[in-house]
Structure 1
């Protein structure tokens, strides 16, 4: 055999070995990805507000309900409440994503729960409670249907992550940079004021703190949106299969979603323009004590405005009148935000509900 032929055979042999090695690696990566996705995937049967499922292959705008649960917080193992909820609407044609925070204390109808003998709501009646009670009472299904009813828009997909998962994910992406406005210590973790890169443990306390924040839960939700949006940007910037594998392994025990692997790839490939502009908004009301429990009472006009923001983002028709208002439901309660009078004792608020009785509220309650 000539020297030239031997060289060619050696080169071919090396190429075969390299191709074989790459093939084995890709098969292993795909197998690991399949295992992680299989572990994370949890399909939930719920009543949707769409007549047809959204088609991601066509680049249609869609919504994802993000739920941060407290199951893994402080050693909890039982199903807790949804400590934070965001309805994210993604529209690649508008090149915009809107992250809408939903206050956990919002007084709203819990869809699908009818009450029992131990509750002040009789069987068969509509049941009202804090928004975050939906997850505790009926899991992901009840949480999704409750948010759909409250916001009058479809929830197309969901992602649920517990507190341990957030910590692990932040560590996996190499930390998140923030500009902390308030120096505080929570559960033995101290956060100084100013710019810094937070690891998972510090990021978890950053999104949990509210008592030291003058804005309370509103401030906390703003920090939650900040951390989540920065995590999303980091994930979208990844171009390495190895890194994707690392992230999946980090969160596979803490995340549940109904998105398939192919849908995730479609979103990562075709929906990146929607990350060019990320807007943040919040659904909140006025604080009020009902039966010695703190609630956020939503404003009639504010809720309608927030609903229409989401509808425009999802290319759905807007409405001029709040669809949630039911004259026959005496358990409803909304803040009449179009009727605010200034009086000497402070701002005077009227609430409509509970048989359409108006409730004047003293400013000291806020």
Structure 2
């Protein structure tokens, strides 16, 4: 009988030891996982380790000391609660790790379509045979073959620009064009209802056909400042210097471009860059300076050697926009964040709104914005950021309003309740922006804010410019456009202020 009791006690003790060992292993694995995620500052990591060590000792003490029922129950409760916390924490970290990896490794995609006029008799791509294809970029035979597999013995007719290519389609000179969808927004300025008057026969992104079914009629008055020339200009060559940017690895001072494209939906889409704001960020001093560069700035487009509106650089990709802005300012830009309309709406709503200090009352897109501090939801913040026609300074005032929204967002993000929700916010927004900041840099910046806390000093300044019509455009050579020629003295002053923040 005594031997039976002894054996039973040994079995119970062995079982308890097994449970404790498993619990300890899980505790160690969770601690290592948290530390490897590189979010927690050293002092918080030390506190976490102490708490987990204390939990393990408490559970050991309760289970292995003199047997009492309440100790067993309490140890079981502690282990269950701990395991639930470990599981929830691990899942949250997994989600944020995925989100960071997603935004820091995402790439822009090129979308090409075969476009015809609405009255074209062909309804399906497989029907097309022995039809010539007009295009802008040469060497696209493989792509044409992919889109039109039965089209044989065709010729390609090359055009110098996408507006010229589309004009040939409208005039009936061409029946089929190979079209880079990044240029769709530019084409609207020539044919406002391009979406309705033409048809995508086939595309490398089949979703675009469905999306265009909901296209709405646009007013040509939106593009009143664009005039067709009798003869296309030769593009103007511009000075260009490739500035070597540094790779941001930790919470060190750096420069960044926020580039906003004028679309909703997929952030990987290339399109015109309507918002271009350069930031100098100094995490050590908790200081940020923002400098908006107007969309119509007449700059050398990186990779082309020719001058055009800055907004047109976006159709060649955000890296092109970043390098074009760096050249215009005469300084390197280390990183970029690319956003679109969807990003702003979702971010503001996720944070529960944003407070903006509005200097002058105005109305836009069915909203009235009073002077003073105002609270905006996502849709209102977008309307506030987009309006320019009712503002005295036009694009310049719009750029400053955009910096006011960004300042409000920064003030919201650094609030303790939002810092602790960083993983949730990032996961919700992971499809809404992309950046070339490394995941290590993102973690270091968050870790630095958790460690130091406190508010940031956020300032902004502007670059002045003179408006001018009719300068040569690289991407729209046959049209007279409005440009903003940047004042060199103002550029130098802005550059010096940006560099001062980094010191």
TM-score by length of 1: 0.73
Deviation digits for residues 174-200 of structure 1 (CA, Å, limit 9, x no counterpart): 1112354323141xx322424432111
Over 3 Å counting, the alpha-carbon distance change for 1:52 and 1:129 in structure 2 is: closer
Residue aligning to 1:312: 500
User: Any gaps of 5 or more consecutive residues in structure 2?
Assistant: 1-8, 10-64, 109-240, 472-479
* 1:153–1:310 CA contact under 8 A, matched in 2: no
2:406 is aligned with 1:222: no
SS at match of 1:153: coil
In the aligned structure 2, how far is the partner of 1:21 from the partner of 1:95? 36
1:72 partnered with 2:288: no
Q: Which residue of 1 aligns with 2:312?
A: 133
Structure-2 change in CA distance of 1:302 and 1:273 (3 Å)? farther
Which of 81, 89, 100 in structure 1 is aligned with 2:280?
Answer: 89
Q: Which residues in structure 2 correspond to 1:97-246 (within 5 Å)?
A: 97-113=288-304, 126-136=305-315, 138-180=316-358, 181-186=360-365, 189-194=366-371, 195-239=373-417, 243-246=421-424
Q: Structure 1 CA distance, aligned partners of 2:419 and 2:413?
A: 12
Check whether the contact 2:412–2:418 (CA below 8 A) recurs between aligned residues.
no
Matched, 1:34 2:226: no
Q: Which residue of 2 aligns with 1:327?
A: none
Counterparts of 1:141 and 1:135 in 2: how far apart (Å)? 8
Q: 1:102 to 1:60 in 2, by over 3 A?
A: same
Cα distance between partner residues in 2 of 1:274 and 1:302: 32
Q: Distance in 1 between matches of 2:267 and 2:436?
A: 24
> Relative to structure 1, is the Cα distance of residues 92 and 70 closer, same or farther in structure 2, using a 3 angstrom cutoff?
same
Distance 1:253 1:153 in 2: 30
Secondary structure of 2:391's match?
A: coil
Which residue in the other structure is 1:303 paired with? 491
Shift in Å at residue 306 of structure 1? 1.8
Q: Which residue of 2 aligns with 1:288?
A: 468
User: What's the Cα RMSD here?
Assistant: 2.9
Q: How does 1:349-360 map to 2 (within 5 A)?
A: none
Q: String of CA shifts for 1:248-276, please: whole Å, max 9, x gaps.
A: 23321111012234322211232668953
Report how many aligned residue pairs link the two structures.
296
Rounded Cα–Cα distance in structure 2 between residues aligned with 1:145 and 1:208? 24
Q: Matches of 1:7 and 1:264 in 2, distance apart? A: 46
Against the structure 1 CA distance between its residues 28 and 258, is the aligned structure 2 distance closer, same or farther, given a 3 Å change threshold?
same
Q: Which residue of 1 aligns with 2:436?
A: 258
Structure with higher Rg: it is 2
Greater fraction of residues in helix:
2
**Higher relative strand content:** 1
CA shift in 2, pair 1:175/1:239, >3 Å: closer
For residues 351 and 461 of structure 2, the distance between their equivalents in structure 1, rounded to whole angstroms, comes to: 25
SS of residue in 2 equivalent to 1:196: strand
The 1:77/1:12 distance shift into structure 2, 3 A limit, reads: closer
5+ residue gaps in structure 1? 114-125, 316-366
Q: 2:457 matched to which residue of 1?
A: 277
Question: What does residue 255 of structure 2 align with?
Answer: 63
Cα distance in 2 for partners of 1:285, 1:148 equals 17
- The 1:293–1:99 alpha-carbon spacing in structure 2 relative to 1, beyond 3 Å, is same
Q: What is the CA–CA distance in structure 2 between the aligned matches of 1:192 and 1:55, rounded to whole Å?
A: 40
Superimposed CA distance per residue, residues 190-242 of structure 1 (whole angstroms, 9 cap, x where no aligned partner): 22424432111111101001101111111111110011111112112245676
* TM-superposed deviation, 1:93: 4.3
